[in-house]
Every structure is written in C-alpha cells, then in structure tokens.
Amino acid sequence: MAPTSYQAPTRGDKAERTTYSQSVESNMSHTLTKVSKLLEGKGDAIFSVNVGDTIADVVGVLKDKRIGAVVVTEAGGVMQGILSERDIVRRMADTPGQTLPQSVEDLMTKDVVTCTPDDTLTDVLKRMTEGRFRHMPVLSEGRLCGMITIGDVVNFRLKELEYEALRMKQMIVG
Ligand code: AMP
C-alpha cells in the first residue's frame, strides 16, 4: 500500500514535470542529423577510377585506400557508375582466373543511388538498407562532394548515443 504522504500524479503535474530530456523533439533529434554533419568529420575524399580502367586497377585502389567501393567517372569527372568489392567477388565466381583484365565499365552498377548534404542520415540509412548496398555518393548541385558508407552512419549514431548517455548521466549525477 502507498504511504499516506503519497500523492497520485495528476495530468497538470505531469505537464509541469516534463523536462527537456524527455521531450519528443529531443528524443527524436538524431533523426534530423544531416549528411553534411557527417561529412564535416569525415571529409570529402572520393576515390574514383575511370570507365576505361580494369578490375585490376580497382583492386589496387580498394587495397591502397582501404575502402570497399569506388566511384567510376569519365574523363570529365562526371560519375558514370559505382563498383564495389561485392561486384568483383561475384564476377570472380563467374569467371575464375579471368576477372582482373576485365573492364570497369562492363562490371559497374550504372544506376547509382545518391544523396545530398541536406538529406538526413536516417533517410540515407533507410535507402541503403532497402537497396541492399553500403555506399552512397553525395552530390551537391550535381557535383560529387563525398561518399558515405553504412559504417560511417552507424559509427556516427553510436557516437551520438554515447554523448546522449553521458549527458543523461551528468544530469542524474550532477
Ligand atoms: P555494396 O554493398 O556497397 O558493396 O554494394 C552492393 C551492390 O550494390 C554492388 O553491386 C554495388 O555496385 C551496388 N551499389 C553500391 N552502392 C550503390 C549505390 N549508391 N547505388 C546503386 N548501387 C550501389
């Protein structure tokens, strides 16, 4: 049984006791974080190959830069496609021992899904998950300005969560 001093909360009490940390806005604020915010920390490096290059060239770039996909451009720098390690592995299974001399143009994915710096990370994550790919070039006014991966988005969110947990702890402990 509740002690006699206990006062059951009323609707009015609840409204007064709601703090900023409990508001829907603050709890959902991470869903509004934009691609531009992630690029601020990551930088705008984009590793690309040319449509005329070979798979051997791509394998070299993937190894040297420690990345999983490259953007494919034509001589003028305009994006023509994207090629990831997954494409190469599949082709190696189909053409064992004959993959490296093949052309990038023949293997790349031409229909590239892109995002803009103004898109939210939540939206990008959703599109990557639905499309089953892990890389997304970022275009600003039609020009390449970065590349983000599913790993970048997950890491960024983890850091946000750590920060939010620390803030909550500081609020509780003082
Ligand atoms: P990934 O998971 O990024 O290694 O890529 C899996 C498959 O999706 C490969 O066939 C890639 O060429 C393709 N792919 C990767 N990123 C994109 C993208 N942003 N838009 C369209 N296709 C992509």
Indicate which CATH number applies to the domain containing 125: 3.10.580.10
Q: Among 35, 58, 82, 91, which is best to mutate for testing ligand 1, by the most ligand atoms less than 8 A from CB?
A: 82
Q: Is 86 in the pocket of ligand 1 (CB under 6 A)?
A: yes
| 49 occurs within a structural domain | yes
Which band of pLDDT confidence, cut at 50, 70 and 90, is reported for residue 173? confident
pLDDT tens-digit series, residues 111-121: 999 999 999 99
Q: Is 67 in the pocket of ligand 1 (CB under 6 A)?
A: no
CA–CA dist 45, 39 (Å, integer): 9
- Region of poorest pLDDT, from 41-45, 102-106, 139-143: 41-45
| 115 occurs within a structural domain | yes
Q: Is 87 in the pocket of ligand 1 (CB under 6 A)?
A: yes
Range of the domain at 93: 30-173
pLDDT of residue 123: 95
| 14 occurs within a structural domain | no
pLDDT tens-digit series, residues 79-106: 999 999 999 999 999 999 999 999 999 9
| 13 occurs within a structural domain | no
For the CA atoms of 114, 118, 124, 126, the dihedral, rounded to the nearest 10 degrees, stands at -130
Number of compact structural domains in the chain: 1
Residue with more model confidence, 146 or 9? 146
Q: Is 109 in the pocket of ligand 1 (CB under 6 A)?
A: yes
**Which is nearest to 34 in space by CA: 121, 156, 154?**
121
Q: Are residues 55 and 104 in contact, defined by beta-carbon separation less than 8 angstroms? A: yes
| 127 occurs within a structural domain | yes
pLDDT of residue 88: 98
Average pLDDT of the residues of the chain:
89
| 7 occurs within a structural domain | no
Ligand 1 centroid to residue 84 C-alpha, Å: 6
Task: With a cut of 90, say whether residue 38 has pLDDT above it.
Answer: yes
| 19 occurs within a structural domain | no
